[in-house]
Structure 1
Amino acid sequence: MEITVHSSKPVKPDYVGGNSASAAVVPLSVFDKVNYDEYIFYVYAFHPPAPPDAVLEAALAKTLPEYREWAGRLGVDASGNPAIMLNDAGTRFVEATADAEFGGSTVMLLTTGRMVLSLYPSCDGVEELLVVQATRFQCGSLVLGFTLRHKVADGPAMWNFMVAWGARPLAASPSTLSQCTTGGRSLHDELPPPPLQIKFEHRGADFKPRGERSGSDGGVVVRADYDEVVVHRVHFGREWITELKSRASHGGAPRSYTTLQCVAAHLWRCVTAARGLDGRQATRIRIAVNGRARMVRPRVPEGYTGSVVLWAWPATTARELLGRPLRYAVELIAREVARIDDAYSRSFVDFASSGAVEEEQLVPTADAAEVPLCTNMDVDCLLAIPFHKLDFGCGPPFFFRPGYGHAPVDGAIYILRSFRGDGSVDAYVPLFSRHMDAFMRCCYSFPTTPTMAGARL
């Protein structure tokens, strides 16, 4: 399959009546500052008939006045603090075609191979915070590839923007979505003034000394002899997930665990076993926790554009993880995720504002230059994303694929609801090819022994 790019053009906000907005500078919040400083990538496929590119481009221009961040640029404010310059410089819209139909073989190439790289625009050398590529297949299917700067927004904020854009081709009047753009990033100014209330330790979890690798207890290893990372999409049916939850509750007081907790715990055990770790080796699973529903003082406004994400770090050893029942791993995850509550978030804001970060020369643990290899896992949960709401006039997407930049990252897993709409779940699991066979032998089973894949316990 070959992708041909036909045009690449800037798209600037199209204001009602032709009036423009004044330039503004929006400082990054403390949550924005600890977010990954990188571009992230998503690919969505839509059945025909899809709107023409000109309609999509015009709808994008009409949506940008409500989401000026995406048409701005990263910079600094008058005090030298990182900020978004609301200068309406624009996004970029790329038009392309594919010389194939979007069929079974194409889906396989996009799911597991690197062909997906050709369906979203490169971020190399770009200044735009958002670049979109619209690729038309011979069957009429439309694939939209998004390249978005993560410093601007977290997953829910990105999703709000995409849904608003999708509604534009069908809308007869301006969107009535409640937005909080230019003022949204001062959200945390509503917090009580000093004295600061730092009740939790944020070193190691949210910040680390400059030059230190996250998980330096052995959780991150840089290797020079690694082989290719391949991606497998694991499909868990609804009945299978029900059985997994039942097994997670076995051996203790009845408790209702979430789908994320159970699936993430199962994948953590399978990946650890497939890697054949020594039993004494430490292993951690990093889970992004959405604080939008957890923060109450102040509450996060509906439609807030920005990041409200911190991370949970459940940790143990390979021996404990694989030698104990599934419930052990699920409890570790549930406890650490629950810890990222309103009190923890307020403590984080106070710590980040206390001057300790600058004085100790701390940097975020969310380091895009750091590749988690060999022992750790990273999980992004998209189970709450309502994919059915993304509609450009041709129905919701029938295919989704997370991107990994230039290449997939070993252990960086996405978990989302299957597009089959039957309550099943898909997980995109990238691993070194030498570990994939062992992973496949245990990922669909319910192992009860510590030798799931020959781990050295």
Structure 2
Amino acid sequence: MKVRKESSRIVKPSYEGQPPSTTQSIPLSVFDKVTYDTHIAVVYAFKPPTPPNTTIQTGLQKVLAVYRQWAGRLGTDDNGRPAILLNDEGVRFVDASADCTLDQAMPLKPSMTLLSFHPTLKGVDELVQVQITRFACGSMVLGFTAHHLIADGHSTSNFLIAWGQASRGLDMSPLPIHDRTIFIPHDPPHVKFEHERIEFMSKKLIKEHPYPYPNTDYSSDGVIVHKVHFTLEFLTKLKAKASAGRNRPYSTFESLIAHLWRAITQARGLKGFETTHVRISVNGRARLSPRVPNEYFGNLVLWAFPRAKVKELLQESLRYAANLIHDAVSKVNDDYFKSFIDFASNEEAVKDLVPTADMCKSMLCPNLEVDSWLRFPFYDLDFGGGSPYIFMPSYFPVEGMLFLLPSFIGDGSIDAIVPLFEQDLVTFKKICYSLD
């Protein structure tokens, strides 16, 4: 398959009436500044009939008038603070074509091929990029890249749904809430928890932080990004096993992460005395009191870090791992979010610190990171020809960085994107469906 990029242009917001000023800016919130400073790319596939690119572009221009941040640029405000400049310089829109049918290119699975379906993520000024690739059969693949400092997955999915609504000539609903100044620290601050070695780390230690891979030099071996499909039947059995003897069952998410954590740890062949943790995103909208509306546009995520000794994780039951995950996520509550706000708002306290959120690593072993997209309504995106039948992240070969997606089958099954070293993947494939 060969993808040919036919045209590339900048698309700017289309306003009704007088355009707003292009000299305003929005300071980044404490949650924006602690998240991943990188672009994230996702890929959608749509079966025909699909609307023309002009319809999708027009919808994009309309939605950018409501979500102006995406059409701006990152910079600093008049006070020198990191900010989103609302200068309406626009987003990139690329037209492309493939020399085959989509069926011939299937199955779309994690591979370098996905990189041809969206613009590069490196050295990009635009905060959003769009590429529409047309296939000979009339199918369409949408590649979408967005800078994570602007919005988390929840906000980005709201934007995408609004884009589809605008493309169909519908009113955009719900409308976003743009006020990023709502996270007000206490005076005096109440920092109840440790944040310097959780969300932040010292600049002096940053070069010493990469996780060493034990016992083996894998420098000549690449990472294989593998997709695992967990059926609803398997997930039901897994949840029952994890919850055995417990009055209230663990969630499917907790049970599956516990299972993957143990299976990957075993496949890696880690020594028993080593400590392993999982970095899990926690949405603060429902955890803060008063609750932050789901329409809030920006980042509002912190992380839970369940951890265990390798020996205990593998010798104890699945329920043991699920309980570690449940307890760690539960502790990222209103008190914890407000403690973080108080700590991160102290510019003096954080001036020599950098976020621990980093997608530039090539290896996370002995740890894992889980990006769960199970609750994001990505399959609700509809430009006028119906919902996508495939949705997935682009190719991110970071060892140990997992993505969880609802399967396009729509029956409650889950796809897990699991990047591991080739040697470890052989073992993982043998045990990933074991309930023993």
Q: Normalised by the shorter chain, which TM-score bucket?
A: over 0.9
1:390 to 373, 381, 385: 381
Runs in 1 of length 4+ with deviation above 4 angstroms?
Answer: 213-216, 218-224
Deviation at 1:226, TM superposition (A): 4.6
Q: Residue 428 of structure 2 corresponds to which residue in structure 1?
A: 439
Deviation at 1:224, TM superposition (A): 6.4
Partners of 2:336 and 2:423 in 1: how far apart? 40
1:42 is aligned to 2:42: yes
Q: Residue 188 of structure 1 corresponds to which residue in structure 2?
A: 183
Q: Residue 307 of structure 2 corresponds to which residue in structure 1?
A: 315
CA RMSD of aligned residues (A): 1.8
Which letter maps to 1:188? F
Residues 408, 131 of structure 1: alpha-carbon distance in 2 compared, 3 angstrom cutoff: same
Deviation at 1:14, TM superposition (A): 0.3
Structure 1: segments with no counterpart, 5+ residues: 448-457
Are the aligned partners of 2:397 and 2:419 in contact in 1 as well (CA < 8 Å)?
yes
After TM superposition, list the pairs within 5 Å mapping 1:416-427 onto structure 2: 416-427=405-416
Partners of 1:117 and 1:244 in 2: how far apart? 34
1:336 to 328, 346, 349: 328
1:166 to 158, 164, 167: 164
After TM superposition, list the pairs within 5 Å mapping 1:79-94 onto structure 2: 79-94=79-94
Structure 1 residues 384-428: Cα deviation after superposition (integer angstroms, max 9, x where no partner): 112332111111110112124xx5111111112111111111111
Which letter maps to 2:427? A
Deviation at 1:186, TM superposition (A): 1.1
Give the secondary-structure state (helix, strand or coil) at the position aligned to 2:172.
coil
Which letter maps to 1:311? W
1:268 is aligned to 2:261: yes
Are the aligned partners of 1:214 and 1:220 in contact in 2 as well (CA < 8 Å)?
no
Are the aligned partners of 1:208 and 1:214 in contact in 2 as well (CA < 8 Å)?
no
Partners of 2:162 and 2:232 in 1: how far apart? 31
> Percent of counterpart pairs with the same letter?
46
For normalisation by structure 1, the TM-score amounts to 0.91
Residues 160, 437 of structure 1: alpha-carbon distance in 2 compared, 3 angstrom cutoff: same
Give the secondary-structure state (helix, strand or coil) at the position aligned to 2:236.
helix
Give the secondary-structure state (helix, strand or coil) at the position aligned to 2:354.
strand
Q: Residue 373 of structure 1 corresponds to which residue in structure 2?
A: 364
Q: Residue 227 of structure 1 corresponds to which residue in structure 2?
A: 221
Structure 1 residues 169-221: Cα deviation after superposition (integer angstroms, max 9, x where no partner): 2125x42422212xx211213x5x401111111121111111435995x8555
Q: Residue 455 of structure 1 corresponds to which residue in structure 2?
A: none
Which letter maps to 2:219? D
1:401 is aligned to 2:392: yes
For normalisation by structure 2, the TM-score amounts to 0.95
Deviation at 1:10, TM superposition (A): 0.2
Which letter maps to 1:339? K
Are the aligned partners of 1:154 and 1:308 in contact in 2 as well (CA < 8 Å)?
yes
Q: Residue 130 of structure 1 corresponds to which residue in structure 2?
A: 128
Structure 1 residues 34-60: Cα deviation after superposition (integer angstroms, max 9, x where no partner): 000011110011111111011111110
Residue correspondences, number: 433
Deviation at 1:91, TM superposition (A): 0.5
After TM superposition, list the pairs within 5 Å mapping 1:214-253 onto structure 2: 216=209, 219=211, 221=213, 225-250=219-244, 252-253=245-246
Structure 1 residues 322-373: Cα deviation after superposition (integer angstroms, max 9, x where no partner): 11111111111111111111110001000111345335x1211112333433
Q: Residue 110 of structure 2 corresponds to which residue in structure 1?
A: 112
Give the secondary-structure state (helix, strand or coil) at the position aligned to 1:185.
coil
Residues 125, 356 of structure 1: alpha-carbon distance in 2 compared, 3 angstrom cutoff: closer
Give the secondary-structure state (helix, strand or coil) at the position aligned to 2:180.
helix
Structure 1 residues 38-83: Cα deviation after superposition (integer angstroms, max 9, x where no partner): 1111001111111101111111001101000000000011121100
Residues 150, 370 of structure 1: alpha-carbon distance in 2 compared, 3 angstrom cutoff: same
Which letter maps to 1:384? R
Structure 2: segments with no counterpart, 5+ residues: none
Partners of 2:45 and 2:329 in 1: how far apart? 32
Partners of 2:78 and 2:212 in 1: how far apart? 38
Residues 336, 59 of structure 1: alpha-carbon distance in 2 compared, 3 angstrom cutoff: same
Deviation at 1:90, TM superposition (A): 0.3
Partners of 2:173 and 2:304 in 1: how far apart? 35
Are the aligned partners of 1:187 and 1:300 in contact in 2 as well (CA < 8 Å)?
no
Deviation at 1:151, TM superposition (A): 0.5
Which letter maps to 1:60? L
1:301 is aligned to 2:261: no
Partners of 1:330 and 1:394 in 2: how far apart? 41
Give the secondary-structure state (helix, strand or coil) at the position aligned to 1:44.
strand
Are the aligned partners of 2:362 and 2:397 in contact in 1 as well (CA < 8 Å)?
no
Structure 1 residues 140-161: Cα deviation after superposition (integer angstroms, max 9, x where no partner): 1111101111100000111111
1:200 to 193, 199, 211: 193
Partners of 1:357 and 1:364 in 2: how far apart? 13
Are the aligned partners of 2:59 and 2:168 in contact in 1 as well (CA < 8 Å)?
no
Q: Residue 454 of structure 1 corresponds to which residue in structure 2?
A: none
1:351 is aligned to 2:343: yes
Give the secondary-structure state (helix, strand or coil) at the position aligned to 1:143.
strand
Structure 1 residues 238-289: Cα deviation after superposition (integer angstroms, max 9, x where no partner): 1111110111022x43332111111111111111111111111221111111
Give the secondary-structure state (helix, strand or coil) at the position aligned to 2:109.
helix
Which letter maps to 2:252? T
